[in-house]
Amino acid sequence: MNMLARNTARKGTHYTLFESGALKDWINNSVDIPGLGKVPGKLFLKDAMGLTSTEISINAMPPGQGMPFHHTHRQNEEIYIFIHGQGQVQVDGEMFDVREGSVVKIAPKGERVWRNNGSEMLVYIVMQMREGSLQQWGTGDADVPQKPVVWPA
């Protein structure tokens, strides 16, 4: 049973847990963006979770809808992970299809716009991180404490 109210965070010393709800309910989120007003189907996680390395949004876009303007970034690389539905993306006027499992990296200067041209909700995650900021990764950034893994029965 979910002990957390939706869209609330639980914090420990080294972690934050945020329950964004089932993917089918992401359309009920909304954010207020200065100059744009209320944007339905979008929720930013950085402030809610205290993220220091990325801004993440979780997104649901209904069939027939699309971004009404292009945008670029100044510092940040963006990554889009599509997890349901079908859509199209344009970067610098070049168009390609996206679907469940499509992952798109866009460099800061890429002029980007996207739409849902399918018949189901387009569900996707967008992340922005400072381009070139990663210095080490994977096992090269990891340590393994020598303690047993214990789970309750």
Out of 5, 32, 69, 119, name the contact with its own copies by CB under 8 A: 69
Q: Shortest Cβ distance from residue 51 to its own copies (Å)? A: 6
- The rounded distance, in Å, linking the Cα atoms of 89 and 84 is 15
Within residues 71-90, the interface with its own copies by CB under 8 A covers 71-77, 79, 81, 83, 88-90
Q: Measuring CA to CA, which residue among 5, 40, 31 is closest to residue 20?
A: 5
Nearer to its own copies, 19 or 63 (CB): 19
78 CB burial (10 A radius; 0-12, 13-18, 19+): buried
Q: Shortest Cβ distance from residue 113 to its own copies (Å)? A: 5
91 near its own copies (CB under 8 A): yes
40 near its own copies (CB under 8 A): no
- The rounded distance, in Å, linking the Cα atoms of 57 and 60 is 10
Which structure tokens are listed for 10? 């639980």
